[in-house]
Structure 1
Amino acid sequence: MNYQATYKPARMVAAAIETHFKENLKTASLKDTGDVASIPSAQVIEAIIDAAFWASLRKEEGNPPKISIAFLTPEQAGDPLLFEHRMPLTTGILTKLAPGLERAGIHLGVCLEDGELFIWGTTLKIPNLCFVLDVSEPGLLVIKHRRVCGFGKFSNVAVLKGDQVKIIDNKGTLLSDCPPLLKILLDLEAPGDWSDPINILIQLAVSMRSHRHGGALLIVPDDTEAWRNSIIHPIQYSISPAFSGLASLTRNSDLHGADRQSSLNREVDHLAGLTAVDGATVINRRHELLAFGAKIARKRGNDDIGFISLIEPVQGGTVSVVHPGQIGGTRHLSAAQFVYDQRDALALVASQDGHFTVFSWSDAAEMVAAYRIESLLL
């Protein structure tokens, strides 16, 4: 097909996105991971991004569209809903269809026929590595794909917001001892099942970001109470005994499939919702809730934190050494101080504006490392 996008960033990123999918396809073929989706060409990617961007700026019945577009044929989808007549991929049609397709997990199927892109219907099932474009809000597009393992949060490839373009980099920007959560989000490691401890943290991060109140979650070791030395006492919302709703569910082998995932979603949202309360929520590595609304203080006898390493895993990103006060407000500064004092802990911080930061101690850098990962959580 021959297409010239009027949305300039679509032309800027199309070739890089095509390369990403081709490289992943080679890896998947070597691992013999089963059915994978067809890889769209740069021209196809450019056209889909262009149509989706202009649709995102329109409104239908007063609401901006939220829609997920998947590039695949009906034969590659599982039990698809097929339109009697195929429709061209245009801004107007996307806007009209959006209200009926905004629920999570519903994808609008698009394929290439005779050099033209057409909408053929919808599907709830897509193959591994399937190209997906989500219209998240006006002017915000996220290109992602289904993981080769077949479950877990989709792997993000690029984020476009107006004239800002971020292409995810899973090769050169991370410190050697970055948290496992980052490695799974970047497809550097395969996740376990849905109840894997790292997968639970990813789901908590997504849920924290979605409530848009901002919040801090501290993850501390199971076998020590040392974290209490970095908290102001009394703790207003201390939990005793530790609440094990999420922890018990992850160990429950009686629930399976959709029932297990639905129960897990409720427990994750329950715990993540508490991070909206002023102060920090504290859990241990078994995901037992220890406290929320906790006020962080510098550990007695320790210094105030000095500088941290700031990293965003996107192409063109660099490792910067900054004061934690430069990347956010009190919540970021206190979380960085907590990890500086409690070096075997992890801190997740969500901002009201959608930014999300993971703080961990890095032996390699000999300082606290702050990873900006909102581009991975969309």
Structure 2
Amino acid sequence: MLTVLVVLPTAALFLRVLDDVSTQRDDTELKQQGVEYLVALAPLISALADSQSQSLQGVTAEPASLTSAVARVADADGRLGQTLGTETRWTDLRDKIGRLPTVTGNSQTIYQAHVEVGDLALQLYSEVRENSQLNMDTQNDIWYLQESVTVNMPETVTAVSRMSDLANMVAAASGRAAKSALQVQLGIEVAAVQDGVAELTDNLQAAADDTESSTLAGNTVNNLDSFRRGVEAANRGANFGGEPDVSTLVTAQSTLSTALSALATVLLKEMSTLLDERMDELNYRQIEAWALLGVAVVLILLATFWARGSASAPATRSADAGQTSRDVSVHVDGQSGQSGPAAGTYGGAGNPYDQVPGYGDASNYGNGSAGRERSGALR
């Protein structure tokens, strides 16, 4: 009973620890799958930007970069889509990407078709981010990194692409009303680019300030500078309020695409490393908990057996002592042959001072010289 009363609370405590560790491991594994999906999704944004620019220039064929990006995301969604709940959204996005080459009409129609697809791509980023629970991570560096990768970078690249194309559309617009409407849209995208770069810079700085990674700060700074230079070049080429510089925009688009790929690779690798380290620590804690549980059970069982052995030893000695006492008593009584004093004596036959008088002895009657007659008082 004592063993049960001690083992059950101990086992319950360790099982609770193991359950907590198991929950954290499942959470970390889900986030690792989210990062894996993001690795495949990152090239899609820049590929859609290329497709939009080429379509506005009259190229109807799908760019090779977009075909490759779609294939990578399709593979990732086939492996991870059910777990991350992205299958429906990716299917819708893929269908609309496939219909882009068939879109006809003026530049505004083509532009709006690509805007719809770009928004769906950004929503897919949000879906991966939320369903993998990366946006719920309590570790500061991971949270800031996922915010940069899933929100700031894709939104900024999409805004830069739209800004560049709208600048060209403003320059090509013939009507005053159409030009004014496009100028409004261009101004919105220019502001979105500025806000996106500022937020990206702040988040990456916060991640570098609060991390144990020895490589995050150095890798982030170099690639972030390249990314920002590409955005600044795009801003100069768009020349908001004036005539756009087409050659500058083309160069900026290429620079930005390369910088995006490098920065996304670095940030996703850093996130993956941090999550791998967390998983290793959780695996160690799980093994440690099982080992401690086993040691605790063994110690409790040993203590129980020792206590039972200690309790039975006094009882055995007491029984042996009682048996010895009875044996001694029997042995002493057996030497006397009876249980009381000898008959006719007080205090036993061997006591010379306590002899019983021989009153009424027949040899004393009628022999005056041999005995005395009893007195009348005695009679």
TM bin (shorter chain): under 0.3
State the structure with bigger RCO (CA 8 A, min sep 6), 1 or 2. Answer: 2
Q: Greater Rg, structure 1 or structure 2? A: 2
Structure-2-length-normalised TM-score:
0.23
TM-score under structure 1 length normalisation: 0.23
